[in-house]
Amino acid sequence: MASLKAQGIDSILCTPTATPPRWLTAEHPEWMRVDINDVPFTHGTRQHCCTNNPGFRAESRRITRAMAEAFKDDAAVIGWQTDNELYCHVEECYCESCQVGFREWLALRYDQSIEKLNHAWGTLFWSQQYDDFDQVVIPKKWRQPAPCNPSALLDFRRFLSDSVTALSARTGGDSA
Ligand SMILES: [Zn+2]
């Protein structure tokens, strides 16, 4: 950046959160996003880690804070590009963190009442009734012999949207 600055070229930095280093993904293969066929993504592209994984979120905060501290007073830096294309290639993730997060999100949405979820989703149909939020699985619209419950699919999309929104809010406001 100093060489560029000497030539009159300013720099815009971006965080590496969409493309974590190989040592990190090798150390934490459980942080990879998982596709609808239960196959984890591999390293060598971008957006292959799940932003709902608590460990990945912590490391993202750590590198973002470290970069901000290191370059906050650098005259060559005229701007920052934050990770702004979350889930633009593949929208869904079916990893364990998302499964757990989806259940927690459902419990909040339905006031900790599985009966409310059963009513809202119309689970009397096809014996879909649940006894507990821990029984709920992420619906997989392409991996079933017949259509999934449309309310479950809609709530999964709402969960994904809310979790991305919460990521931005937590990353910006978290003091950890
Ligand atoms: Zn996930």
Interval 137-161: pLDDT, tens: 999 977 778 889 999 999 999 999 9
Interval 161-176: pLDDT, tens: 999 888 777 544 444 3
Statement: residue 49 has pLDDT above 90: yes
Q: What distance in angstroms lies between residue 52's CA and the mean position of ligand 1's atoms?
A: 6
How many CB atoms lie under 10 A from the CB of residue 161? 12
Q: What distance in angstroms lies between residue 32's CA and the mean position of ligand 1's atoms?
A: 7
CATH number, residue 136 = 3.20.20.80
Q: What distance in angstroms lies between residue 126's CA and the mean position of ligand 1's atoms?
A: 28
Q: What distance in angstroms lies between residue 82's CA and the mean position of ligand 1's atoms?
A: 20
Q: What distance in angstroms lies between residue 3's CA and the mean position of ligand 1's atoms?
A: 40
Share of the chain above pLDDT 90, in %: 76
Q: What distance in angstroms lies between residue 101's CA and the mean position of ligand 1's atoms?
A: 9
Query: Are 13 and 71 in contact, with CB atoms under 8 Å apart?
Result: yes
Q: What distance in angstroms lies between residue 93's CA and the mean position of ligand 1's atoms?
A: 4
Q: What distance in angstroms lies between residue 40's CA and the mean position of ligand 1's atoms?
A: 10
Residue 67 Cα distances to 28, 57, 74, 82, angstroms: 22, 15, 11, 12
Task: Give the count of domains, the chain.
Answer: 1
Q: What distance in angstroms lies between residue 35's CA and the mean position of ligand 1's atoms?
A: 9
Mean pLDDT of 69-97: 89
Q: What is the model's pLDDT at position 36?
A: 92
Reported for 139-143, long-range contacts at CB under 8 A and 24+ positions apart, including other chains, are 140/36, 140/94, 141/36, 142/36, 143/36, 143/37
- Enclosing domain of residue 91: 2-173
Taking the model in full, what pTM does it have? 0.86
